[in-house]
Structure 1
């Protein structure tokens, strides 16, 4: 991986760590399938009451399946494939424009020292995560 791509990935990790962002790949379909499947099975076994019980149990199962799916955004960034990192790099470099840097420390200082640039890079990062990975983004309180 070219050094500048690695620098930009580390910058993205630093920005997201400072803002304490977590992400989760949406899995609502699995929860809905669990609820619907168990409601159907409950209906076959127990009639109308079985539908209610199966739906409730399925809903709880779906909720349980979804829990614990959130990861810190820096971890998600470092787990991106080289192709995904290259696309994110292109998005971020488009914002950085003609800024030149020698290492990740200098790049981080340049971006963190400019509130507008920091917001733009963060917005591009979150947009990429949302659009490309179909992930939910949550800020830790």
Structure 2
């Protein structure tokens, strides 16, 4: 059974890699709050020029705090604990149940030749990442 889990995880990683899916962890609100607080403090200390300086410093600090929050979805999937991978595999099995395959290469080939199945798997992945991980999906570079 672990083989099936690994092979379906390879399929999910392949699909998400082809679509260049990345997960954006939601920390932008924290960065915006830092910017606003710094602008407010700058305004209290230095008046109108202080607002500009505080906003700039806060913006840079907020950007630094939220940088590096984008991760490729295949990396996220492979870092999931085994129990979470199993849940994801069970959801994928419900979609690919009617396919007859023997290994990951054949499974990937069958799924990639079926656009409807690809879309169902992508929707399942998107739902999992947004609901369970609290992340936002981005496509492309």
TM (norm. structure 2) is 0.84
Equivalent residue, structure 2, for 1:41: 41
| Deviations 1:64-120, CA, capped at 9 Å, x for gaps | 322332222111111112222122112211211333432211211111121111111
Equivalent residue, structure 2, for 1:105: 105
Secondary structure in structure 2 of the residue aligned to 1:128: helix
Equivalent residue, structure 2, for 1:63: 63
More displaced, 97-106 or 70-79?
Answer: 97-106
- Deviation for aligned residue 1:40: 4.1
- Deviation for aligned residue 1:123: 1.6
Equivalent residue, structure 2, for 1:131: 131
More displaced, 82-91 or 38-47?
Answer: 38-47
Secondary structure in structure 1 of the residue aligned to 2:14: helix
Q: Distance in 1 between matches of 2:80 and 2:100?
A: 24
How many residue pairs get aligned? The number is 141
Equivalent residue, structure 1, for 2:14: 14
Equivalent residue, structure 2, for 1:80: 80
Equivalent residue, structure 1, for 2:5: 5
Distance 1:92-1:40 versus aligned 2 partners, 3 A rule: same
Secondary structure in structure 1 of the residue aligned to 2:80: coil
